[in-house]
Structure 1
Amino acid sequence: METSERVRLDTYFGKIARAFTPPERPSSLLITHLLPERPAFVRAVGTVSKLRAVLPKPKSVDMGARREVERSTPCDELSRDMFANPDAATAYLETRAPGEPVVLVDVGGYFAPSLQELSDRFSGRLLGVVEDTENGHKRYAELGSLPCPVLSVARSPLKDPEDFLVGQSVVFSTEALLRGRGDILHGRPALVIGFGKLGSSIARLLHAKGINVTVYDIDPVRRAQALSQGFGVARDRDQAIGAAGLVLCSTGAFALRGEDFTLLKNGAYVATVTSSEDELELSGLPDGYTRANSGEHITRYQTTGHYFYLMNHGNAVNFLHGASVGPFIFLVQGEILASVRLLARGDLTPGLHEVSADDRATIAATWLSYYNR
């Protein structure tokens, strides 16, 4: 990033932070993709709250960004197991923010499995959670009765530009990897599993490239939406997996279980838009499959009479090329800062909440003043 762009970004976040810094700053823990531009956002979180630690998403850490963040804030290792165990989760929170009012800023529902225990057992006060992704939104919604407020930005209109551009980056990276092996998208029927914001964006972009696209989603409403937009909709999921030359997984949950991989036709490619631990049950792959590198960032899985290719080890394929969506992601990050202020007030009831339309308008107007040039 050029120096002028860094200055602009810091100035933008400075203005947003001033608008949304609460009178009494809570402590916070931040889960984030630690990409090259992310330190500016981390600093802003540290302005609206007392940032006690950053937990970078394991598969998306730029070491330069990490070193920059570590000059002022500890970076701790993150895993699903870390917060799946209530004892370990509580002990961690007690280590970083004992007795303090805390906001948890999440990407993907990491805190969800232990949220009730954290709320009950933590020596401080758990003010609530800010969740950034649709996957995480679902994880918290599935808990039913929430012990604290969860402010979700996953379905905010400010996230729509990001979702569209992430879809573009997924298609770009998928095609780049294919071309790196001397292959192309065309002539390879695609199956998109999951027709939410990202899946629908991916399906439209593939279709625009002349690719034959079939869609599958467990939600019949989304299947109807896909059909209305001109996509083929799989009646039989297993048959659709077996007919596809490219399977793109965009569900935020297990799109392919272990036994599903055996349905793939020989030579099919599999790619995802999130981490392998969320989207692919590779641990359930039947015995007998071996792995081998088959080109840059391509793994070949093979057993007697069957083989398929996995892109980027099953992790988000677009992170191979920076996963950049330009300055549009700063809109959502601004809304995360506004969410921290709302939770800091301490007056929201337990349950799912959203930022107000007025706050979103403030963020959008500020963003436009810096990036509509």
Structure 2
Amino acid sequence: MVASVIKPTPNTDHDIKDLSLAPLGKQRIEWAGREMPVLRQVRDRFAQEKPLAGIRLAACCHVTTETANLAIALKVGGADAVLIASNPLSTQDDVAASLVVDQGIPVYAKKGEDAETYLRHVNIALDHRPNIIIDDGSDVVATLVKERQDQLSDIIGTTEETTTGIVRLRAMFKDGVLTFPAINVNDADTKHFFDNRYGTGQSTLDGIIRATNILLAGKNIVVVGYGWCGKGAALRARGMGANVIVTEVDPIRAIEAVMDGFRVMPMEQAAPLGDIFITVTGNKHVIRAEHFTVMKDGAMLANSGHFDIEIDLATLKDLSTSVTTVRNFTEEYRLPSGKSIIVLGEGRLINLAAAEGHPASVMDMSFANQALGCEYLIKQRGVLTPGLHPIPTEVDQEIARLKLQSMGIGIDTLTPEQVEYMNSWTSGT
């Protein structure tokens, strides 16, 4: 009934599931916006100053309520933006519909889209001939560099907010193919301290619980990787009463995990002990054949790294006699021995596949970094050299200040005497 009156905004191309979902999406976008006061202040300033006017922008992100608020801020700032999904299971179809219908933003995203559709959408984003790319894993940038050399002259720069994407950008720069500036949003303090540790920590367990409805207390949870995401997952799992084991390849992170009170061991020792495994490395095949064969019957595997390659699912499927969907986002792989291994969310980001991703209050800071990163690229056009550049410290600190202000929290400031002392070498004890 609603579908008969809802039409796409004129001249707005799109490839989404159902325009009639727009009213629900609009309601949910507004709800998330209540928890994003920093981005709201950025958007209000953008509305006055229009810093992105005349800029063609392509964003490859998880199409969620939080991303929608970023997309709206970019459009308000003057950008001619298109949005595609960075993950086939994270798209919220009602959000995609609202962005098309209510905001006139072209969106190319469907929950559950296959790899062929995803790649087609990547090329549609590049057909927009963007000046700035907001990427999530660097697939759009990599496709540009490999297949669209003629468009490199259009590019002012890119922003990237995932560890996986930063690793790829560093490799591109090392190989001499990254010929434009890239803003490392991922390593901004107001991003990785909060998004990765608190956002991933909470939302990962949320996704596991929604997919399985299991009790975490008393379970052996193996956290594979102790970066900021791993720290968050381990901390929250322990808070839920789980016995946490950490596996690592980095000796510094491993000793940090030990000092934080977690058991640390190689995966070959952890594999027979774990009830639930959470991969958060950004690498491939960190759980593989030799681990599958020694796992407990009913061991559960979940991924909160970026791509669906951390668990070697192709080998697991080859080893299995059957694969059965037993719940939404929950598949049982039956091995010849008779025992089963449970894979959650198809090995994709479990917090977005089975839940709703990070809380909006966390993404508030991450997406403020994205919006201000785009503005910084424009202001520094012709000044920034090719390669990776950090978010300026003053921008990072301003985002933190605005967040504290929105929470009603004040902090001290240095006195003139203290400033002088901190900048002097002549004063001793």
User: Which bin holds the TM-score, normalised by the shorter protein?
Assistant: 0.7 to 0.9
Answering whether residue 367 of structure 2 is matched by residue 338 of structure 1, we say no
1:113 aligned partner: 142
Q: Counterpart in 2 of 1:233?
A: 264
Alignment equivalent of 1:243, drawn from 262, 273, 278:
273
Deviation at 1:124, TM superposition (A): 4.3
The CA deviation string for residues 334-367 of structure 1, in whole angstroms up to 9 with x for no partner, is 1111111222232210111112121223333334
Give CA-to-partner distance per residue, 1:222-249, whole Å, 9 cap, x none: 1121122121111x32221222111111
Q: CA RMSD in A?
A: 3.1
Partner residue in 1 for 2:93: 63
Query: Structure 2: how far apart are the matches of 1:213 and 1:232?
Result: 7
Which of 163, 169, 174 aligns to 2:208? It is: 174
Does the 8 A contact of 1:21 with 1:341 survive in 2? no
**Cα deviations across residues 308-352 of structure 1 (Å, max 9, x unaligned)?**
111222222223232242323111111111111222232210111
Partner of 1:76: 108
Match of 2:154 among 125, 128, 134: 125
- Contact 2:83–2:125, Cα closer than 8 Å, also in 1: no
Contact 2:302/2:347 (<8 A) preserved = yes
1:153–1:335 contact (8 Å) kept in structure 2: yes
Structure number having the greater strand percentage? 1
Cα distance in 2 for residues equivalent to 1:284 and 1:358: 47
Among 392, 397, 401, the residue aligned to 1:365: 401
Residue 304 of structure 1 is matched in structure 2 by 336
Q: CA deviation at 1:102?
A: 0.8
Q: How does 1:114-153 map to 2 (within 5 A)?
A: 114-117=143-146, 120-122=149-151, 124-143=153-172, 144=174, 145=176, 146-153=178-185
How many pairs were matched up? 363
Is the Cα–Cα contact under 8 Å of residues 84 and 107 in structure 2 kept in the other structure? yes
Q: 1:297 to 1:228 in 2, by over 3 A?
A: same
Deviation, structure 1 residue 16: 4.8
**CA offset at residue 203 of structure 1?**
1.0
Q: Is the 8 A contact 1:131 1:150 kept in 2?
A: yes
Once residues 83 and 21 of structure 1 are traced to their aligned partners in structure 2, the CA distance between those partners, rounded to angstroms, is: 31
Cα distance change on mapping 1:81 and 1:49 into 2, 3 Å = farther
Report the more deviating stretch, 28-37 or 41-50. 41-50
- CA shift, 1:130, in A, is 0.3
Q: Pick which of 163-172 and 241-250 moved more.
A: 163-172
Aligned equivalents of 2:114, 2:186: Cα separation in 1: 21
Alpha-carbon spacing, 1:107–1:273, altered in 2? closer, same or farther (3 Å): same
Conserved in 2, the CA contact under 8 Å of 1:108 and 1:131? yes
Identity level (%): 19
Code of the residue aligned with 2:370 in structure 1: it is I
Q: Give distance in 2, aligned partners of 1:245 and 1:275.
A: 22
| Residue 199 (structure 1) aligns with | 230
Listed one character per residue, the Cα deviations across residues 167-196 of structure 1 (whole Å, up to 9, x for unaligned) are: 022123324544x3xx42233322110111
Q: Does 2:60 align with 1:31? A: yes
Larger radius of gyration: 2
CA drift at 1:279: 2.6
Which residue, 310, 327, 340 being the options, matches 1:295? 327
Opposite residue 388 of structure 2, the aligned amino acid is L
Please list every run of 5 or more consecutive structure 1 residues that lacks an aligned counterpart in the other structure: none
Distance 1:56-1:188 versus aligned 2 partners, 3 A rule: same
Matched, 1:280 2:311: yes
Q: Secondary structure at the match of 1:294?
A: strand
Deviation at 1:123?
6.5
Instruction: Give the SS at the match of 2:80.
Output: strand
Q: Following TM superposition, by how much is the alpha carbon of 1:11 offset from its aligned partner in structure 2, in angstroms?
A: 4.3
Is this contact kept in 2: 1:292–1:299, CA < 8 A? yes
- Is 1:354–2:390 an aligned residue pair? yes
- Report the AA paired with residue 384 of structure 2: L
Q: Higher mean Cα deviation, 331-340 or 154-163?
A: 154-163
Q: Helix, strand or coil for the counterpart of 2:134?
A: strand
Distance 1:303 1:113, change over 3 A: same
Contact 2:221 2:243 (8 Å CA) reproduced: yes
Taking a change above 3 Å as real, the CA distance of residues 361 and 265 of structure 1, as seen in their structure-2 partners, is: same
CA displacement at 1:263 relative to structure 2: 3.6
Checking the alignment, whether the CA contact within 8 Å between 1:31 and 1:107 is kept in structure 2 is: yes
- Residues 326/96 of structure 1: CA separation in 2 closer, same or farther (3 Å cut): closer
Match status 1:161 vs 2:197: no
Measured in 2, the distance between the counterparts of 1:359 and 1:19 equals 19
CA distance in 2, matches of 1:28, 1:252: 26
For residue 313 of structure 1, what is the aligned residue in structure 2? 346
Change (3 A) 1:116 1:275: closer
TM-score, with structure 2 as normaliser: 0.75
Query: CA–CA distance in 2 between the matches of 1:369 and 1:47?
Result: 23
Alpha-carbon distance in 1 for matches of 2:375, 2:335? 54
Partner of 2:14: none
Q: 1:169, 1:342 → 2: CA distance?
A: 30
Distance 1:4 1:304, change over 3 A: closer
* CA spacing shift, 1:287–1:171, aligned 2, 3 Å: closer
Q: Distance in 1 between matches of 2:140 and 2:390?
A: 18
Distance 2:271 2:295 in 1: 6
